[in-house]
A and B are shown apart, each in its own frame.
Chain A
Amino acid sequence: MSIAEDIGLETFAMARAARELYSVFVRTLYYVVRGRREKGAVVRQMYEIGNKSFVFLTITMGFIGMIMVYQSGLQTRRILPDFSLLGATFLELLTRDLAASLAALMLATRVGAGIAAEIGSMVVTEQVDALRMSAADPIDYLVKPRFIASIVMTTVLIIWGGFVMFTVGGAVGYFAFGISWKTFASTQLVSHGDLITGLTKCVAYGGAIPVVSGYCGLTTFGGSEGVGWATTRAVVNSSLAIIVLNFFISGAAYVIFPK
Chain B
Amino acid sequence: MNAAASPQRNRFYDVAEQVGAGFLGVAQVVGGMGVLLGRIVARFFPPRIDYPELRRNLYKMSVKSLPIVVITALFTGAIMVIQAAPIVKRLGAEGLVGWAAGFTTLREIAPLLTALMISGRVGANNTAELGTMVVTEQLDALRVLAIDPISFLIVPRFIGIVVTLFMMTLYADALALLGATYCAKALLNVAPTSFYHGLTGGLLHLGDVGDGLVKSVIFGIVMALASCHFGMTTKGGAPGVGRAVNATVVASAAGIFVLDYFVSFILG
Binding site for B on A (CB under 8 A): 56, 59-60, 63-64, 66-67, 70-71, 74-75, 78-79, 89, 93, 96-97, 105-106, 109-110, 113-114, 117-118, 120-121, 124, 223-225, 227-229, 231-232, 235-236, 239-240, 243-244, 246-247, 250-251, 254, 259
Contacts and interface: CB of A to CB of B under 8 A. Distances in A.
A236 B120 contact: yes
B7 interface: no
Interface residues of B, number: 55
A239 B129 contact: no
Contacts of B187: 254
Interface in B227-268: 237-239, 241-243, 245-246, 249-250, 253-254, 257-258, 260-261, 264-265, 268
Contacts, number: 151
10 contacts: A64-B260, A67-B260, A71-B268, A224-B241, A227-B128, A229-B125, A236-B117, A243-B71, A243-B72, A250-B82
Given A121-B238, A259-B90, A228 B245 contact: yes
Contact of A225 (B75, B78, B132): B132
Given A64-B257, A105-B116, A247-B75, A231 B268 contact: no
A128 B76 CA distance: 37
Contact of B128 (A74, A229, A246, A247): A229
A228 B129 contact: yes
Nearest to A110: B250
Contacts of B76: 243
Tell which of A64, A109, A121, A259 has the most Cβ of chain B within 10 Å: A109
B249 A78 contact: no
A246 B241 CA distance: 32
A255 B25 CA distance: 49
Interface in B100-124: 100, 103-104, 107-108, 113, 116-117, 119-121, 124
B60 interface: no
Q: Chain B contact residues: over half helix, strand or loop, or mixed?
A: helix
Interface string B71-105: 11001101100110111011000001000100110
B68 A113 contact: no
Nearest to B248: A113
B131 interface: yes
Nearest to A60: B257
Contacts of B103: 75
Contacts of B79: 97, 243, 246-247, 250
B245 A113 contact: yes
Nearest to A253: B82
A186 to B, nearest CB: 15
A117 B246 contact: yes
B78 A247 contact: yes
A124 B85 CA distance: 48
B250 A56 contact: yes
A227 B117 contact: no
B57 interface: no
B127 interface: yes
B229 to A, nearest CB: 16
Nearest to A125: B238
Given A109-B116, A243-B76, A67 B108 contact: yes
Contacts of A114: 246
